[in-house]
Amino acid sequence: MIPASYPTREEIARLTARMLLEIGAVNFNTEEPYILASGLPSPSYIDCRKLISFPRIRSTLMDFLTVTVMRNAGFEAFDNIAGGETAGIPFAALVAERMALPMTYVRKKPKGYGRNARIEGAMSEGQRVLLVEDLTTDGGSKLSFVDAIRETGASCGHTAVIFYYDIFPETEKTLGDHGVALHYLCTWWDVLAEARIQGAFDATTLNGVEAFLKDPRAWQAAHKS
107 annotated as belonging to a binding site for a ligand: yes
Contacts of 119 (CB under 8 A, 6+ apart): 82, 104, 105, 106, 107, 148, 149, 152
pLDDT of residue 37: 73
140 annotated as belonging to a binding site for a ligand: yes
pLDDT of residue 115: 64
> Helix, strand, coil % (nearest 5) of the chain?
45, 20, 35
133 annotated as belonging to a binding site for a ligand: yes
Give the separation between CA 163 and CA 25, rounded to whole angstroms. 11
Write the burial class of residue 211 (CB in 10 Å: 0-12 exposed, 13-18 middle, 19+ buried).
middle
Can you say how many angstroms the Cα of residue 4 is from the centroid of all Cα atoms in its chain? 23
pLDDT range class, residue 141, cuts 50, 70, 90: confident
Residue type at 31 in one-letter notation: E
141 annotated as belonging to a binding site for a ligand: yes
Per-residue pLDDT tens digits for 165-216: 999 889 999 999 999 999 999 999 999 999 999 999 999 999 999 999 999 9
Per-residue pLDDT tens digits for 89-138: 999 999 999 999 999 999 998 876 656 689 999 999 999 999 999 999 88
Neighbours of 126 (CB within 10 A): 9
Is pLDDT at 1 greater than 90 in this prediction?
no
138 annotated as belonging to a binding site for a ligand: yes
List of domains in the chain: 9-216 (3.40.50.2020)
Contacts of 151 (CB under 8 A, 6+ apart): 118
